[in-house]
Amino acid sequence: MEHSKLLRRTQLFARITTKIILKSALIGLVLLAIIIGLMFLDSRRDTALPTPSGPFAVGRTSFVWKDSTKVDSMATKPGTKRELIAWIWYPALPQQPSPSFAAYLPLAWRKAVEHQRGMLINKMLTRDLSRVRTHSIPDADLSPEKNHYPVIILRAGLAALVTGYTSIAEDLASNGYVVVGFDAPYRSAVSVFPDGRVVEISSKNNADMYSGSQQKQLAEKLVKAWSADMRYALDQLQHLNGSDSSGKFRGRLDMERVGVVGHSLGGATALQFCYDDSRCKAGIDVDGAPQGEVINDSITQPFMFLTSEHSSDPDSVTSQVIANIRLVYNRQSTDRRSWLMIHGASHFRFSDDGALLKIPMIMSVLHSLGIIHLDGRRQMAITTYCINHFFDTYLKDSTGATLEIQRKFPEIEYSH
């Protein structure tokens, strides 16, 4: 009798437990479906990039530059000549009554990016790039307000597209800078040429596919190649300044006031470029790890390191990055160096990604998991504020001023 009672109780407990597990699993699946559905719907909503902070309208145009004298050392096919696809954002003459803004990416580029990402990521996890609204007027006339405009070279991070930093480019252009970014075949995520060629990043050039000493060696090789690309881009700008067939930029670029800014490996390249080329008058490394010989040497130009909160990830790699930044920083003149940290900032949200995820529930989940600590649009606002203030100080101010970032944002901290 006792045995049968125990058996019935055990069976009852098992049935109840099974029901609870099944209900919990069902609730979990429903919640997951809701989250995925919200992400899918949100990715299809129209989303405008942050409004530029400056007084100028913004224009955007593009060029393909081919160097018939230089073999591309990063190409997969021997003998391939170097090519760059340049995007230029600039202070523009406003259109009246209402301007037609440029697509975030041209259709051919969007298709190439979608193909590279794959169906799952493109349809479920990332923003529909056709619904991202820019503030750039395609091929607008350069604003006549100034005779000359200082030039900024913008470099994307590893395997990224420079158009993924449109928020930074537009903000700089709205404040009176001509911003030149470029994508290079075999080392940018994807490059789409007017003749229909589509070139994806080569696996041999993707440092994310390596680790340890191999990754370090490739990163140093990429930084040197990217710095050479920057030098070539600057040569092309000088040519454009002298003989732009459209007349848009002829004689309008101030080639004596050239700055450079890059994110991640692009930031390391900005540092290397200032080391390699005296035409660089000021530079910014946004959360990039210094590479190569510049670590053990010095640069004379004003330079700023703008970093995320590395202290939240105190592993050996991060510690070495901080140590290398400090080596460069300590050798700089005290009136020409800056090192700012943004509390709560995350590495990948210095790009437009910081402005494109907006669902409050998903933001809350990512925040609770420790993935996101600072709202992406606020991080973008802080980033563009620091970048503009730095270049205004060293490229526009002729009095020899020293950078002093006002505490407009409490998240900004001076590092030493």
Q: In degrees rounded to 5, what are phi and psi of residue 21?
A: -65, -45
Neighbours of 324 (CB within 10 A): 18
Per DSSP, the three-state class of 169 is: helix
Omega before 91 within 30 of 0, i.e. cis: no
Per DSSP, the three-state class of 406 is: coil
Q: Give the CA count within 13 Å in the CB-facing half-sphere of 349.
A: 25
Phi-psi region of 186 (alpha: psi -120 to 50; beta: other; left: phi over 0): left
Radius of gyration of the chain (CA): 24
- How far from each other are the two terminal CA atoms of the chain, in whole angstroms? 78
Enter the tokens of residue 232: 């070539």
Q: How far apart are the C-alpha atoms of 84 and 410, rounded to whole Å? A: 39
- Residue 111 near residue 195, CB atoms below 8 Å: no
Q: How far apart are the C-alpha atoms of 176 and 187, rounded to whole Å? A: 30
Nearest to 282 by CA among 407, 412, 157, 396: 396
Enter the tokens of residue 40: 């899918």
Element (H, E) at 111: helix 107-117
- pLDDT for the residue 226: 93
Q: How far apart are the C-alpha atoms of 338 and 344, rounded to whole Å? A: 19
Q: How far apart are the C-alpha atoms of 292 and 308, rounded to whole Å? A: 22
- Residue 45 near residue 146, CB atoms below 8 Å: no
- Residue 87 near residue 106, CB atoms below 8 Å: no
Q: How far apart are the C-alpha atoms of 230 and 152, rounded to whole Å? A: 11
Q: How far apart are the C-alpha atoms of 216 and 159, rounded to whole Å? A: 16
Q: How far apart are the C-alpha atoms of 320 and 86, rounded to whole Å? A: 33
Nearest to 174 by CA among 85, 60, 254: 60
Can you give the pLDDT of all 416 residues of the chain as single tens digits? 565 665 566 666 667 767 777 777 777 777 666 666 666 656 566 789 999 999 999 999 999 999 988 888 888 888 899 999 999 999 998 876 777 899 999 999 999 988 887 755 555 556 788 889 999 999 999 999 999 999 999 999 988 999 999 999 999 999 999 999 999 899 888 999 999 999 998 888 887 787 888 888 989 999 999 999 999 999 999 999 998 778 889 999 999 999 999 999 999 999 999 999 999 999 999 999 999 889 988 899 999 999 998 655 567 778 888 999 999 999 999 889 999 999 999 888 899 988 876 555 566 666 666 666 788 899 999 999 999 999 999 999 766 677 777 678 999 998 75
Find all residues with CB under 8 Å of 197, minimum gap 6, and list them: 191
Query: Tokens 């990416």 map to which residue?
Result: 105
- pLDDT for the residue 268: 96
Following DSSP, what letter does each residue of 309-359 receive, concatenated?
A: -GGG---HHHHHHHHHHHHHHHHS-GGGEEEEEETT--GGGGSTHHHH---
Nearest 5 degrees, angle CA 46-CA 374-CA 288? 95
Nearest to 67 by CA among 185, 204, 214: 185
Per DSSP, the three-state class of 25 is: helix
Q: What is the pTM of this model?
A: 0.87
Question: Chain centroid to CA 130: how far?
Answer: 19
Per DSSP, the three-state class of 67 is: strand
- pLDDT for the residue 292: 87
CA dihedral 44, 46, 52, 58 (to 10 degrees): 100
Give the domains, in start order, of the chain with CATH numbers: 44-414 (3.40.50.1820)
- Residue 274 near residue 280, CB atoms below 8 Å: yes
Nearest to 215 by CA among 320, 345, 351: 320
